[in-house]
Structures are given as C-alpha cells and as structure tokens.
Amino acid sequence: MLGQKMRLPILILSCILVFLYGCGKYHHRPGGVPSSATWVDGTFIVCAIETEAKANRCTVYKDDSGEILADGLFVLNSTGRAADSASLDYAAFGKRKIYLANTGVLVPFVASERDPSNRLVHDTLVKFAGPSAGGAIDCGKSPTTPIADELGACGLQAFAESKAFYLHYDLSLSERFQSYGLASDGKGDVVQVIYNSEGLLTIAFPKKSQFFGDGHAAVTPCPKPVVLAKTQIGELACALPPVKEDSSLTVQQEPVETTVCEIAENPSAFNNKLVRVRGHVWVNFEYSTIEGDGCSRELWFTYGGGSGPPGLAAYVMGGAQPGAEDANGDYVPPIGVKLVRDSRFANFQRMMVAAVSADSRAAKSSPDEYVYHRVTATFVGRIDGASPEIHAFHLKRSPMDKADYLGFGQMGLYDAQLVVKSVESRATLDTVHVPSSSSKTQ
C-alpha cells in the first residue's frame, strides 16, 4: 500500500519534468520558420554548409514572431571558414553572432537581401533620396570584392545632372560585416550611410552624424561644397573639398611658438593652426615621426603637398582627416600649406638621406644594441589634431590593443601630425643608442 502511495507523487513529478523539458526543447514555431530550425536562447537557428562559398548559410528567427534577425553567409571567427555539420550545435545568438556549444563562434560574412542590416541601409538611402520629384535613380548594389564600377559611374553622372540617386556596397571582413551607401537628394545634399555588425564607435564620426539601429548604423552629411570621388578600392564616396595651398588664411596666420610635447598633450588645441616647433625627425620604411625632448608621445611627420621624407616607403594611413568643425558641426577646411623647397629644406633632405643610410649600416654592424639616427631642425607647419574624445580614448589604449585607425599616420596611431611648410634652421644629424629590448615604434 505504501508503495502504491509513493507512485502517484513520483508520476506527477515525472510529468512535470517532462513538461518543463518539453518547454525548453520544443518551442512554438511561428509560420515561416522551417522545421529544421533549432530553438535556442529565444531564437530559431538553422545553418547549412555552402561548399563553394566555404561558409555556412544561416538564418536566425525571433522565436515569438518568426521575424528574421540575421540571414546570409557566416564563417567561424577562428578559421574564416564554414563550421562542419558536427559543430552546428547552437548555444546562443547575440550581437549578430551565432555561438556554438563547442565554444566556436559563427560571425556574419555576407548579409543576404533578407538580412535586417540590408533593409536598414536600403530604406535609409531611399528615404533620403526619394522625396525628389520623379523619384531617385537606383544605381545598384555591389560587394566591394570585386566592386562593380558601374555604380560609381552612375552616381557621378546623376550628381553632375543634379538628379537624386542612391547606391550600396557590402564589405565582408574577418570578424564583422560592414555595409556602406551613398544617397543624394538631387538638390546638392549628399549623405553617407554606414552599418557595422559589431557596432560603431561614435567618437569616430562628425558631430552632425545621426546614429540608429542600436548604434550599428549612422548617417553622415557630406561636407560642402560636396565633392564625390572614387576611393582606392573603387567605392564612390564623399571627398574633402580641395585645399588651396598658401591660402589667404595661411598668410594671415602667425605661427604659434610651441613644442612637440605641448601638441602631443593637447592635439585639438592646435588643430588647423600654424606652429613653429623644434624636434627630432626619425624615419624608416613605414614610420615618419617627430619627437621632442622630455615627452613620450610623438607626432606624425609629413610634407605639405602630401609627400614624405626620404626613407618612408609604404604605410597604411589612419582615418583622421585634416580640417575642423565649427560650433554648428559644419566642416572647416584645413589651411593650405605649400612646401618651401629652399636651401634649408635641401640641407634637411640631405641629412635625412644620410640618417636612413646610417640606420641601415647600424642594423648590420651593431646586432647587440638598437641604434637609430635622427635629424633635428626647427619647422613651421600646420598641425592636424584629433578630437579631445579620440585623444582621451587613445590615452587608455594598451600597447597590446589593435590599431583602431582613428588617428593620423601609420594605422592611425598618432593623435596629431605636423604638415611641414618650411624648415627654419640648419638641420643636424645625431645618433641614439637604445637597449636591444626597446623598440623605436609606438
């Protein structure tokens, strides 16, 4: 009898456990969600392997409505390739990433037309360009590799004819997906729309940018007068208005007497100003810097007109642009700087050539210590400085952090650059000995 009395509670408990398990494992499936999709973490997820693309084609649905949260090609963040069938055991979805039970992470590689990011960018472009009478010209959509040249040609022609248009590019990176678009209202205003699956760093954008899509997307007006040009990879984008060398504004300015250290400590205070500084210039294959006595941070060093000193051969520029913003957030072009190629500049060039040659010899003859050569002189030039927000952000950066390309020079590592107008003193060359454990790069 006692045994029979015990069976009833056990049976009830078993039913409860089965019910709870069923609630977790088997969830109500809205219409449009395929039976192959697995419920996990408030979503339904289904992935397959696309052999030709070497990626997983995945769709993520919201569990209560069937709304598509992500759709397209995904790859493992560790390999850049597809996860095999045995690894497609889903654990969670968040920040547009699919987390697998084996600790792998599938990241977006190419978003499909059904993906919310594409709809978000497309709808924003159409909304800006659409109010024009007669509608806007759809110049199309293209991946950036390979890029479709006809998009840029279409946009340039429409802009020249004062017609509204929009176009759209997709860029797939190793751990994120980025989408970019350009739209004109046909009346002289043009905006750039950008989407990043990882989210956008707001301090990298002008004051007039507007953010939406939970911080993943932004609309930025192009500076006026609007200039459209193709980038190195062929995208049509807004370019900075041309700068007149030795403009009247440059002539009117008296150079501010300062130091490299003062500029490095507060770059924005000197932005778009002529300065006179004395410093030590060092150059190698991909770095060109000027340093001052007693400060740990350097400035990027370049010539007016865009060229660089001897020895600088190849580098990847940061995303910072010269110029400024006024109180209303409108773009203020940089003051023009034309390089004066006089006898003092020629002397400086000879010293730089000698320094590069001496560095090469020292690398072979002094293997037990690091020896470099620098050229010291006084310069007049324009300072381009990062915003206070970017400077404060970089002060917290660890040497181990990845470059964010928010500054000037090589990979945007520098919060200010000196654009040289003239060399104001005779240059001198000296040698610096550094312990072998040290490095001359930032």
Give CA–CA dist 98/177, Å, rounded. 14
pLDDT tens profile 36-63: 999 998 999 999 999 998 999 999 999 9
Give the pLDDT confidence score for residue 132 in this predicted structure: 60
Residue indicated by tokens 């952000």: 393
Mean pLDDT of 103-127: 89
Mapping DSSP to helix (H, G, I), strand (E, B) and coil, where does residue 109 land? Answer: strand
Q: What is the pLDDT of residue 63?
A: 94
**Beta-bridge partners for 256:** 275
The pLDDT assigned to 7 comes to: 56
For residues 263-275, average pLDDT: 97
Kindly list the domain boundaries of the chain, sorted by start residue. 33-110, 116-239, 248-434
Integer Cα distance of 297 and 274 in angstroms: 20
- Residues 363 and 355: their CA atoms lie apart, in Å, by 12
Instruction: Note the pLDDT of residue 440.
Output: 61
Q: Where are the beta strands (DSSP E) in 161-298?
A: 165-172, 177-184, 190-196, 210-212, 217-221, 227-230, 236-239, 256-257, 273-283, 288-291
The residues that bridge with 98 in the sheet, in sequence order, are: 93, 106
What is the band of 407 on the pLDDT scale with cuts at 50, 70, 90?
very high
d(CA 127, CA 112): 21
List Cβ<8 Å contacts ≥24 apart for 237-245: 237/180, 237/182, 237/192, 238/182, 238/190, 238/192, 240/321, 240/322, 240/323, 240/331, 240/333, 241/331, 241/333, 243/322, 243/333, 243/334, 243/335, 243/336, 244/336, 245/304, 245/305, 245/336, 245/337, 245/338
Assess contact for 280 and 373: CB atoms under 8 A.
Answer: no
Backbone angles phi, psi at 353, to 5 degrees: -60, -40
What pLDDT, on the 0 to 100 scale, is given for residue 22?
44
Q: From residue 441, give the alpha-carbon distance in Å to each of 282, 291, 300, 414, 435.
A: 10, 12, 12, 11, 14
Q: Is 344 exposed, middle or buried (0-12, 13-18, 19+ CB in 10 A)?
A: middle
Q: How far is CA 38 from CA 34, 81, 351, in A?
A: 9, 22, 68
pLDDT for 145 beyond 80? no
Taking the C-alpha atoms of residue 42 and residue 61, their distance in angstroms, rounded to an integer, is 9
pLDDT of res. 125: 94
* pLDDT for position 252: 66
Res. 243: pLDDT tops 80? no
Per-residue model confidence (pLDDT) at position 209: 95
Whether 260 and 289 have beta carbons less than 8 Å apart is answered as no
Q: Is the pLDDT score of 144 beyond 60? A: yes
Q: For residue 389, give the DSSP letter.
A: H
- Predicted confidence at residue 118, as pLDDT, reads 87
Could you give the CA distance from residue 270 to residue 280 in angstroms, rounded to a whole number? 19
Give pTM, 2 decimals: 0.78
Q: Compute the distance between CA of residue 266 and CA of residue 390 in angstroms, rounded to an integer.
A: 11
- The larger pLDDT score, comparing residue 143 to residue 403, is at 403
- Of residues 336, 386, 376, the one with CA closest to residue 355: 376
List the structure tokens of 334.
């940089």
What is the tens place of the pLDDT at every residue in 322-380? 999 888 888 999 999 999 999 999 999 999 999 999 888 887 777 677 888 999 999 99
Do 419 and 411 touch, CB atoms closer than 8 A? Answer: no
